Structure 1
Amino acid sequence: MAPAEAGRGAVGEPGRGEALDDYSLSRVPEEARYSWISVAVQRFGQVSSFQQFMVGAVLGYGMTFTDAVIAITVGSVMLEAVTILLGVAGVREGLSTSVLARWSGFGRKGSAAVGMLVAFSLAGWFGVQNGVFAQGMHNLAGGVPPWAWALAGGAAVTAVSVFGFNTMAWTAYLTVPAFLLLAGWSVVDTLADHSLGHLVTAAPPGPALSLAEGTTLVAGAFILGALMTPDMTRFNRRPSDVVKQTLLGVTLGEYLIGLTAVLLGHAARTADIVGIITTSSGLLGTLILATAILKINDWNLYSSALATVNSIDVILGRRVGRRTVTLVIGAVGTTLSAAGVMDDFTGFLETIGVLAPPVAGIIIAEYYVVRRFRADLDRARSHGGLPGGIADWMPLSLVCWAAGALTGEYAGIGIPAVNAVVAAFALYAVAGRAAVRRGPRASRTPGTPPPGRSGLPDLPESGMTKTGG
């Protein structure tokens, strides 16, 4: 492979150091890709989690089974569309979400802003879920104080994440089947005394949820995970792998876990179905909780570290190792959860979560519709590098980001997460295509290098195939 073009953030030929760093700032080479099963089991592990149990239980407590099926179907279709489009971009470019954002509408410093949003959000959820794990283990096992469980759980997840994708894949091979078997055993035990036909036709036991409210719960619960899809799919080998693993992971995760929890919500007549499952047996509940937290929280920490590495590279011009960053974030998150302060951040994390959906809409619009940087990405991909230059800021993406977030928050109709994605996508696609039609001179923003169709320096083309548009 030839080295990447000069420019800050450009990375040369991947070597052993890049492999150990999981290619945090460079393309994942073909020889480092994995089978689709290795990636799919981790995607399924993200979706088939306690979060889905809780969402399904809330749906079951406030909706009929039929309405819950509709809500899960609509929410899942939206998630699958976003996940597949972002995932295909990830496998095609071999780049993490935050690095891909540089050439997907945001520019260098814009990608750092995206990275900081993602890093802070996922690091926060890592701490929150570690706190949930600690309190749950304390309630189940007793004796050991919650802070000790938090330290043990955080250290275990951090150790898995530090060693990267390969270790996380093997962890998922163990924890995903274990979680499904243990949770399935508990579910069967809980439903044994209830008629399945009655549960399917029964009225909801709690206050009614509208179809829009139910769909919002389904779509909003996983939108941040959908945004981070390239972090995972950059290790896939082909776009068809992304489609297969998304259909398997999201569909089975949402339907198998979600609808099971709906039935449990009807049977137990409460939304706190997770508590019922985990306390059905001391040892069984302990194992369920441990496997559930481990198989999703490692990705929270992993993606947070990737986003932080990109932000530091852009803002400070320094390259830091993903492993070091993972250790630091893991240590801080673990300490804060052990101190019991992370629960105070849950409301704040949910509030800033409205900023995530528009990012997905902008990346999809730029990569598939506007395509100002696709030719540069294609030429750079032919020799395994990255394009050599990019504007720091792209005002259009900032405007669309704000418009999407405001639409999702204040539209008052429909599904907020869907509204935010669609609004940001539509506005960026229309304005971006109009700028492209006006030509490079009209579409160039202040501070953008003038040469090249996209405002980027022309790359050498000898021996390379120029593709894309």
Structure 2
Amino acid sequence: MNEKRKEKKSAEVNALKPILRKDRMSWVSMAFIQAGICVCVPSFLLGALLAESMTVWNAIISGTLGYVIVVAMMTILGHIGSDLGIATCTITQAGLGVKGARYIVSLVFAANLIGWFGINNNVCGAAFSNFCLEVLGLNIPIWVSSVLWGLIMLSTAVFGMSALEKLDKLSIPLLMVIMLVGTYLALSKFGLDGLNSAPEYSMSFLAGVGLSFNFYAIGAVAPSDFTRFQKTRKDVAKSTIWGVFPMGVFTLVLGILMTKLADNFDISMVLISIGLPTLGVLALVLSTWTTNSTNAYTAALNLTMAFNIPDNRRREVTAVAGIIGTVLGAVGILDHVEGLLSMMACIACPIGGIMLADYWIIGKGDPHNGLL
């Protein structure tokens, strides 16, 4: 009994070994984790980009269709993780070979995830420093706030899926309340007149659908990093549909509404602008935390594969990945490479196609065929 309790309390150790059935979680727990990944500043930014180029309804519909494609791809590819219990980088060995999986998939994915960890963390640190100065009268350098929050966010990633589950089950309901309250207050202050404003730029409907998908490209093709913790294919479908789709569309619509009404896509910044800085910073910290923890977690899986690190060093590798991202973000280097990070995400779609063809077409979706 004591050994079982100790095992449950300890941090997740292994990175790439198949997840045993007894160690997998319910679809509800996974849905919270999937929802946590969707809530971040870039999700609101997607709504802003669509709102600036389309009417409100076209922006909402095209963005929603993009998320439908994301959910469909995540479900199909996520079934592979559930069937085999292994991470995305391990799955790609079947189609690309060991070296291809190591140097094409793992290095690119790890660099992208570490980069976004640092960028998101620096945005959070800047907002926290500004909050401390304006509200508390404390002048905290941005790099100090970035390091502080980077270490805090990293702690949940180091402990693994059980910590991510607890974080998201606490944060997602709270974020929902904050965002709903913020939306109501913003509507009360700014009214609805801006909804009919003409778009500043022009974007086709299909381009809007593509943009919505591209914002979630890596998550769409690498769901197995998380669905390997699901017991059945049915659980994968339920956790993805109920986790990704509602929260993804919700943040998309908020980004569109806030851009049209308040001229700022980020609900946390809108809350600060209408005189509720505490709620605004809380929303920003929680949304960054839930996303960044998964960035560091999945980056560690890819680094373990890329550098052939012993599998039981997942915690140490996660810590190193997060520290690198935090330092690069704090010193400002990552501000100049956002475009490069976005381009790296374009590699994700062909990799997803390779996995889909290898497992579902060649292997006929049978986990016992020996292809992987």
TM-score over 0.5 for the pair: yes
Partner of 2:328: 336
For 2:264 and 2:117, the matched residues in 1 are separated by 26
For 1:335 and 1:209, how far apart are their aligned partners in 2? 37
Instruction: Output one character per residue of 1:26-76: Cα deviation in whole Å (capped at 9) or x when no partner.
Output: 111110011111110010111133222111122223211221122123211
Task: Report deviation, 1:203.
Answer: 3.8
What is the correspondence of 1:192-203 to structure 2 with a 5 Å cutoff? Answer: 192-193=188-189, 202-203=196-197
- Distance in 2 (CA, whole Å) between partners of 1:20 and 1:222 is 28
How far, CA to CA, are the matches of 1:236 and 1:47 in structure 2? 19
The gaps in structure 1 that reach 5 residues or longer are: 1-15, 380-386, 388-453, 457-469
What SS does the aligned partner of 1:69 have? helix
Structure 2 residue aligned with 1:325: 317
Could you say which structure has the greater relative contact order, defined with CA pairs below 8 angstroms and 6 or more residues apart?
A: 2
The runs of 5 or more residues in structure 2 that have no matched partner are 1-6, 134-138
Amino acid of the structure 2 residue aligned with 1:330: G
SS in 2 for 1:167: helix
Q: 1:253 maps to which residue? A: 247
Shift in Å at residue 331 of structure 1? 1.5
Q: 1:156 to 1:276 in 2, by over 3 A?
A: same
Matched, 1:106 2:96: yes
Which residue is 1:411 aligned to? none
| Contact 1:96–1:306, Cα closer than 8 Å, also in 2 | yes
- Select the structure that is richer in helix: 2
Instruction: Tell whether the 8 Å contact from 1:60 to 1:262 is kept in structure 2 after alignment.
Output: yes
Note closer, same or farther for the CA distance 1:275–1:58 as it changes in structure 2 (3 Å cut): farther
- What is the root-mean-square deviation of aligned Cα atoms in Å? 2.3
Cα offsets for 1:270-327 (capped at 9, x unmatched) = 55665324443211111111101001000000000011112222xx7x5451001011
- Please tell me whether Structure 1 or Structure 2 has the larger radius of gyration of its CA atoms: 1
Q: Say if 2:268 and 2:279, in contact at 8 Å, map to a contact too.
A: no
2 CA distance for matches of 1:23 and 1:378?
23
Alpha-carbon displacement from aligned partner over 1:109-149 (angstroms, at most 9, x marks no partner): 11112111111110111111111111122223322110111
Q: Which of 81, 86, 93 is the matching residue for 2:84?
A: 93
- Paired residue for 1:436? none
* Counterpart mapping for 1:150-229 below 5 A: 150-193=146-189, 202-229=196-223
Q: TM-score, normalised by structure 2?
A: 0.89
The Cα shift of 1:87 comes to 0.8
Q: Specify the SS of the correspondent of 2:86.
A: coil
Name the CA distance, whole Å, in 2 between partners of 1:131 and 1:225.
Answer: 21
Alignment deviations for residues 366-404 of structure 1 (CA, whole Å, 9 cap, x no partner)? 1100118x76x527xxxxxxx7xxxxxxxxxxxxxxxxx
Q: How many residues align?
A: 358
C-alpha change, 1:338 and 1:73, in structure 2 (3 Å) is closer
Aligned partners of 1:68 and 1:214 also within 8 Å = yes
Q: CA deviation at 1:97?
A: 0.6
Paired letter, 2:206: A
Partner of 2:114: 123
Conservation of the 8 A alpha-carbon contact between 1:302 and 1:326: yes
Q: Distance in 1 between matches of 2:46 and 2:178?
A: 19
Cα offset for 1:350? 1.3
Distance 1:273 1:323 in 2: 33
Summarize the alignment of residues 62-73 of structure 1 with structure 2, pairs less than 5 Å apart.
Answer: 62-73=53-64
